[in-house]
Amino acid sequence: MQKQVSLDISGLQHFVSEQELDEIQPMVQTARNLLVQGTGVDAQMNEWAKLPANYDHVEFDRIKAAAKQIAENSQILIVIGIGGSYLGSKMAIDFLHGSFYNHSFDGKHPQIFFAGNTLSPTYTQDLLNIIGDWDFSINVISKSGTTTEPAMAFRIFKQKLIEKYGIDEAYQRIYVTTDAHKGALLEEARQNDYETFTIPDGVGGRYSVLTAVGLLPIATSGGNIDQLMQGAMLAYNDLYDTDFGNNDMLKYAAYRNILYRKGITNEILESYEPHMRYLAEWWKQLAGETEGKDHKGIYPSSTIFSTDLHSLGQYIQEGMRNLMETVIEVDSSQSDLYIPRSRENLDGLRYLEAVSMDDVNKTAREAVALAHSSGGVPNMLITLKDNSATTLGYLIYFFEFAIATSGYLNGINPFNQPGVEDYKRNMFALLGKPGYEDLRDSIKKSPH
């Protein structure tokens, strides 16, 4: 039976030896044990690892009920959040429904737009203009409620709700996903009786897509979150407690770290499907925040081919040899087309008239892999069975577990992000937030 997600390492033939894999295997297994047994640093933040088996079924049913309510009374849902609070749901909606979800509005499921992920007044005003006179609701996502970008957006869009519906109805259209016990957003939700959903204590933002953080927007879009969790459970059963020899997830962590230790420090996640662009954006946060610490870590980047072959292909083929490629391909494409026949054949495409567009796309992938490999770029291929919610759930868990294992393998804490806090402190000081006066004075005195 075909796997939901499978790893092909034939593109590493000239870059990694069996001996190297044998040598790193005990270290990978140790890193995996730190995660599974909860003995690694910050282990209280690995609750996501058992989430497919232990999620809150009562809240899960409330999520589906809320999604149905939003679909019944709103043409638009504004999802307010930044980082992991929006990338997971955006990724899943594009993956499941295609690149043009909001343009194919059928009245059954709301258009879904994202706010609070930028400080741009232009973007925010453009989104206010899009809402116009449409009926809309808000899902605001924040562990604390004080993160600058989403907090600002929430004030702005909440004001528009109140102006349109009055306070009582406006508050019925606000859905809050936040900490279960504390925080400014939770306090506001309690005071105003917003419907609330929980970000579990042991789940950080970049690992939160399989909680209410991602599930409510995905369900509102019409995505099948039952199948999504079933796919994650399949991955959990297949990979969580499987030995190295049969575990593609651990092998992926092993191979990318063998290459990293040879000086191949940049990983490009590639797809030939534009609707996977935000899958790569989600993966970049997952990998970057998990591994990029203590002046270590693989730098995550992404491309969509064949589009980016015409802008980045030259560099990948002949630039610095510090690149590895991980390509994601769907075995069974959602759609297929054939090249129409043309009597004139002025474009020279007659040789493709009997070939499907999906075959051309996959052939391009194969040709690029051969060229890049011969040019000194190692590549791995991750093949997805299909574009179903089941496969996506499997892939989410696959990447989460592999990247967390990779973090421990490199001797860092996979679950904190101290560098992210540095810019926040500087911004608060420069904007005059109370409590940051000393830092502001220090910044003003320092040359920069």
Cα(21)–Cα(240) distance, rounded to whole angstroms? 20
Question: How far is Cα 283 from Cα 280, in angstroms, rounded to an integer?
Answer: 5
Rounded Cα distance between 246 and 192, Å, is 51
Enter the DSSP assignment of 323.
Answer: E
DSSP reduced 3-state for 2: coil
C-alpha distance from residue 45 to each of 49, 50, 68, 416, 442 (Å): 9, 11, 31, 9, 34
Angle between helices 389-409 and 225-239 (to 10 degrees): 40
d(CA 52, CA 210): 8
Do residues 78 and 164 touch, judged by C-beta distance below 8 A?
no
Number of H helices, E strands in the chain: 16, 10
DSSP E strands in 49-194: the ranges are 76-80, 111-115, 136-141, 174-179
Do 220 and 76 meet the contact criterion of CB atoms below 8 Å apart? no
Q: Tell me the C-alpha distance between 156 and 168, whole Å.
A: 17
Cβ atoms of 261 and 375 within 8 Å: the answer is no
The residues near 131 (Cβ < 8 Å, ≥ 6 apart) are 76, 78, 160
Which residue carries 């449409």 as its tokens? 134
Which amino acids are annotated catalytic?
A: 289, 424
Q: How many CB atoms lie within 10 A of CB 44?
A: 9
Two tokens, residue 444: 């003003």
SS (H, E, C) 268-289: EEEECCHHHHHHHHHHHHHHHH
Contact (Cβ atoms closer than 8 angstroms) between residue 403 and residue 411: no
76-80 and 323-330 as β-strands: parallel, antiparallel, unpaired?
Answer: unpaired
